[in-house]
Amino acid sequence: MPLPEPASSADGARPPVPPDPARPGPGRLSARLTALRECEGEHVQATLFRPVDDEALCHDCLRRSLQVA
């Protein structure tokens, strides 16, 4: 005895979903990028890093300076 299946038209009868205004957009990405800082150490290319405590050097430069000193 087959179970009564819902009509396939129920799937196509959904109302269109409006775009969610609270949805995170590309603005969040740029906000993250502004949190990055360019390292003041010696780099062939500009190196961006995320300063933890108002640091001016990236982790690589900090580690290197610690090893040298």
Can you give the binding site for Zn ion, defined by CB under 5 A?
A: 39, 41, 47, 58, 61
Closest distance to Zn ion from the beta carbon of 31 (Å): 23
CA angle 43-47-52, nearest 5°?
Answer: 120
Minimum CB–partner distance for residue 48 and Zn ion (Å): 10
Phi and psi at residue 25, in whole multiples of 5°? -110, -165
Nearer to Zn ion, 37 or 41 (CB): 41
Count of other CB atoms within 10 angstroms of residue 18:
6
**What's the closest the beta carbon of residue 40 comes to Zn ion, in angstroms?**
7
